Amino acid sequence: MIDPRDVRWGETGLVPGIVQDASDGRVLMLGYLDEEALAATGRTGEVHFHSRSRGRLWRKGETSGNVLRLKSAALDCDGDALLLTVEPAGPTCHRGTRSCFDPELRPGKETETDEGAQPPQGFAWLEGLWATIEDRARTRPAGSYTADLLNLGTDAVARKVIEEATEVLIAAKDDAAAQASGADRGATQEALASEAADLVYHLLVLLVSRDTPPSQVIGMLRNRAR
């Protein structure tokens, strides 16, 4: 956790804390912390603020249950602002919206987020997976599946991508058959997600084996979407 001695506390003993969703980087809210709130956040793993209106320590979600579970905290370059990356337990805003920067919900639309928006998919987490794969490629630690696979060369990694893609196809067809028969799709959808996860992982390993960053792939997709 951040050392309070590194923080440039304002004249009132507070520092702004920007809260960001760990799943996709969405800014959820802005609050203010004092040393007590910073300590409580680090001790409990749930974000606390100093409530300026109440003049006391405030655990976000203490009445609604929509707590903010801390994943990481960082100081900005000047030391006078905090970035709190969190996993929210529910809507962050008191209006019931995901973010305090979202438009207010219309009556009868309590589960709505942005106008026409879909719930976040958590793609930001893939940054951590990519960092781990890069580390394994650089250090090649013994006992690492990623390192062992990379040591076999590009052909071996590419064959795994083809194998996993085939298993995704089979899982997708099984799910389609379950849907057509009216059967419960819980198991087939879980199997599809599992095979797709294997495919994504091995595709990232293939990219790192060829020194091709995912950002280049994202750039291609962005250009094609224009």
Instruction: State the pairing for strand pair 82-88/15-21.
Output: parallel
- Using CA atoms, how far apart are residues 50 and 32, in angstroms rounded to an integer? 6
Instruction: For residue range 168-203, list pLDDT tens digits in order.
Output: 999 999 999 999 999 999 999 999 999 999 999 999
Domain 4-88 has what CATH class?
A: alpha beta
Please give the backbone phi and psi of residue 50, each rounded to the nearest 5 degrees, phi first.
-100, 115
Cβ atoms of 26 and 98 within 8 Å: the answer is yes
Closest CA to 21 of 95, 104, 103, 121: 121
Cβ atoms of 191 and 178 within 8 Å: the answer is no
Q: Where are the domains of the chain?
A: 4-88, 123-224
Instruction: For residue range 43-99, list pLDDT tens digits in order.
Output: 999 999 999 988 999 999 998 999 999 999 999 999 999 999 999 998 999 888 889
Closest CA to 74 of 41, 107, 112, 123: 41
Indicate the pLDDT class of residue 167, thresholds 50, 70 and 90.
Answer: very high
- Using CA atoms, how far apart are residues 145 and 147, in angstroms rounded to an integer? 5
Beta strands across the sheet bearing 82-88 = 27-33, 15-21, 82-88, 68-75
The architecture CATH gives domain 123-224? Orthogonal Bundle (1.10)
Indicate the pLDDT class of residue 113, thresholds 50, 70 and 90.
Answer: very low
Q: Residue 96 has what pLDDT?
A: 85
